[in-house]
Amino acid sequence: MKRQEKNSTDITTKINNLAKSLDLGSGDETTLLEIEKTDDPNIKKLHLKKGSWDSNNPWLAIDKDDEKKIYAFVPAEILSKALISSKEAQQENFNLKLEKTIWQNIPIDFEDVRVVAMDEIKKLASKQGDKMVVSVNLEQLIQKIKDEHPNLFINMQELYPQLNHN
């Protein structure tokens, strides 16, 4: 009996930690299910252990045979919003990195350099299925643009010849 109580405590701790990390409130507010095998290997039963079937929050499920496995059932609307948010964050991160790399090279007109960079990135992008895949080293890209279009950048060595160490 002590072992079962310890497992129950371990599971409760895991659920509370997972609920907290997913920002679902306390584990007490979480809908918890137990997954149980049936005679048919293609069918499993879900037992409501805690919470409500009507909850709009993600449900957490524990495999009865392997209590180390915890699953999350998420409404499609929430999953969709999370994926869209993730894509937007990736795009914002890319834009910030591109902006930083351009500014580090002292452009005369930031927007002109950005337009040229985006054109180059589009040329480098490859289509894989219905997705565009881009793998680009931004420092190398901006250096290439700087070499091909020096008029887009301030040349510090021309402005301050004493910077020339040759």
Residue 41 is which amino acid? P
What is the predicted pLDDT for the residue at 1? Answer: 44
What is the predicted pLDDT for the residue at 65? Answer: 85
Higher pLDDT, 112 or 166: 112
What is the predicted pLDDT for the residue at 139? Answer: 95
If one counts the domains in the chain, the total is 2
Taking residues 96-114, report their average pLDDT: 96
Quote the DSSP letter at residue 96.
H
Instruction: Confirm if 117 and 98 have CB atoms less than 8 A apart.
Output: yes
Q: Are residues 12 and 59 in the same domain?
A: yes
Q: Which domain holds residue 49?
A: 2-74
Q: Among 42, 74, 106, which residue terminates a domain?
A: 74
- CA-to-CA distance for 123 and 120, rounded, in angstroms? 5
What is the predicted pLDDT for the residue at 145? Answer: 96
- CA-to-CA distance for 104 and 86, rounded, in angstroms? 27
Q: Are residues 86 and 102 in the same domain?
A: yes
For 5-60, write each residue's pLDDT tens digit: 555 556 667 777 777 777 765 555 778 889 999 999 999 999 998 888 988 888 88
Residue 94 structure tokens: 């890319």
Q: What's the whole-model pTM score?
A: 0.64
Residue 74 structure tokens: 């998420």
What are the DSSP calls for 103-123, one per residue? HHT-BSSHHHHHHHHHHHHHH
Q: Are residues 97 and 68 in the same domain?
A: no
Q: Are residues 61 and 122 in the same domain?
A: no
- In this predicted structure, the answer to whether residue 71 has a pLDDT above a threshold of 80 is yes
What is the predicted pLDDT for the residue at 30? Answer: 79
Residue 45 structure tokens: 């039963």
Is 127 part of a structural domain of the chain?
Answer: yes
Q: Are residues 21 and 47 in the same domain?
A: yes
Q: Are residues 62 and 102 in the same domain?
A: no
Is 162 part of a structural domain of the chain?
Answer: no
Mean confidence (pLDDT) of the chain: 83
Is 161 part of a structural domain of the chain?
Answer: no
Taking residues 120-133, report their average pLDDT: 73
